[in-house]
Amino acid sequence: MEQRSESFLVEQSVPGERLDIFLRTRYPAVSRGAFQRLIEEGHIQVNGQRVKPTHQPKRGDTVAVFFPEARAAEAKPEDIPLDIIFEDADLIVLNKPPGLVVHPAAGNEEHTLVNALLHHCKGQLSGIGGVARPGIVHRLDKDTSGCLVAAKNDETHLGLSEQFSERSLDKTYLAIVCGVMARNTGEIRAAIARHPTHRKRMAVNEGEGREARTTYTVVQRFTAATLVEIQLHTGRTHQIRVHFQHIGFPVAGDPTYAAKQTKKLTELTQYEPPRVMLHSQKLRFVHPRNKKTLTFEAPVPGDFSAAIKALRSA
């Protein structure tokens, strides 16, 4: 990875927001832990001074960010088949199958998408922010299928990250939710934060959460469920799952946010979802190098098609 530095002016203060969280918003492809490490090592400075991750940037501050050369990858390359939708010298777009973890973590250090990409791309992946998630610009949950893009170099990584941050990248999902939605279209605006007691869950929290916006259109109604097309306008953790739980129509098959509703769905229809019924259907972005607008679509996997068929006939 090439060493890269950038500096920018803080245009607006956010009361109480830490520097590591502020930078995470600007560079969503880089983990908060990576930013904390870079700040503590002096690679990120504010107005020419070393600061702590808890520093609160203010309007008019100059933030200098230096991405040092990445450490050698700890994840091991693995020859795992990939469903490639598009690939060039700068990026790769994949149709991720359900059940595949995107990046290594405690308990999932092998057999992840990152392991597969390290083998397929043979050292080409961008390593911005360290090597925990080489090339990964955004992530999908383990059970979510569909379109995902990874960067092969730092220029592409930063260019795509900027589009995610500025919300100029279009993400369309399909979901099967519990219950019959009456409205044909809708918008959900509700801030999302870490759940106050269940640390692996997220929750709507207007007081402490970060802004989140989701819009949807009903595609088809079933006996006790609804197929919806969803536009994601922000990229918060578990955003779709939390937002649809918040309005009373959680995503079918979700053990974290829809256990009771999924059980009721199965009782009413005799259909039991095998996973969280969420699919990243379309992805549209501007190629960072040639500036062409690219649109990709991932066909729904077999279990999703089977769910629609079963619910139609229920």
Catalytic residues: 141
Q: For residue 308, give the amino acid letter.
A: I
SS (H, E, C) 229-247: EEEECCCCCCHHHHHHHHC
Angle at 244 between CA 18 and CA 312, to 5 degrees: 150
Answer yes or no: are the C-beta atoms of 284 and 262 closer than 8 Å.
no
Residue 277 dihedral angles phi and psi, to the nearest 5°: -85, 75
Q: Locate tokens 């010298």: which residue? A: 89
Query: Is beta strand 278-286 parallel, antiparallel or unpaired with respect to 145-151?
Result: parallel
User: What is the 8-class DSSP label of residue 253?
Assistant: T
What's the chain's length in residues? 314
User: How many CB atoms lie under 10 A from the CB of residue 66?
Assistant: 15
Which residues lie below 8 Å from residue 305, measured CB to CB, with a gap of 6+? none
Task: Determine the Cα–Cα distance for residues 261 and 250; give it in Å rounded to an integer.
Answer: 7
